[in-house]
Amino acid sequence: MDFTELRNKMVEEQLVSRGICDDKVLQAFRAVERHLFVPPEYNGNAYEDHPLPIGEGQTISQPYMVALMTQCLNLGGNEKILEIGTGSGYQAAILSRIVKEVYSIERIPLLAQKAERLFVRLGYNNVHLKVGDGTLGWGEHAPYDGIIVTAASPKIQKTYIEQIKCGARLVIPRGTMLSQVLTVLEKRETGLYASDICGCTFVPLLGKEGWKE
């Protein structure tokens, strides 16, 4: 199977055609080998237009949703970004190709271990992983130039707002367990500015400031 061809086709047919236009995002999608981030039995499906199971009842998101959320962070290239919900590690790998440092938290140890092994193997040295409850953020390395939450949240956590810099964005799917709205919140000197981007469906964000486990 020619994965490079499938990847380029995915970029044109699923991303460019739907309005993803940030060149840095498109380049990252052309480079990251998505088929390495899915279980072997799904290798051949890795570039299809939908989420896939990654084990432990979790999913790797649809490529378009990963691209849209990344584009919503409005990245310049020099940022330090926090991701909540490492899962397969694919979103973190995309970010690592664009920004300076990526911090990522996963609550399921097995998924974190698999992602960590992949980062080492593929040389994604600017991704820093931790196992824990991401609803509390990662205070040690704050403030961040952006936070991206890749699981469905019942609310916008105060902690996330506290842990981003002025001028930075929080990208978060918020709503019920069954359906959410992708929301971008910008922190400015003059206050917080939220915009709703589109409807979406993520697995739940479980934890102290998320849904009950």
Nearest to 88 by CA among 139, 46, 132, 148: 46
Q: Is 151 in the site for ligand SAM (CB under 6 A)?
A: yes
Query: Rounded to an integer, what distance in angstroms lies between the CA atom of residue 174 and that of residue 133?
Result: 17
Residue of 8, 133, 165, 201 that binds ligand SAM (CB under 6 A): 133
Q: CB-wise, 166 or 177, nearer to ligand SAM? A: 177
Residue of 32, 79, 87, 168 that binds ligand SAM (CB under 6 A): 87
Candidate segments 16-24, 71-79, 185-193, 205-213, binder of ligand SAM by CB under 6 A? 205-213
Q: Is 88 in the site for ligand SAM (CB under 6 A)?
A: yes
Taking residues 164 to 193 in sequence order and writing x for each that binds ligand SAM by CB under 6 A, - otherwise, the string is: ------------------------------
Nearest to 63 by CA among 83, 81, 38: 38
Question: Is the CB of residue 123 less than 8 Å from the CB of residue 100?
Answer: no
61 is catalytic: yes
Scan residues 39-58 and list those touching ligand SAM (CB under 6 A): 58
Query: Rounded to an integer, what distance in angstroms lies between the CA atom of residue 85 and that of residue 24?
Result: 22
CA 145-108-209 angle, 5° bins: 55
Catalytic residue annotation: 61
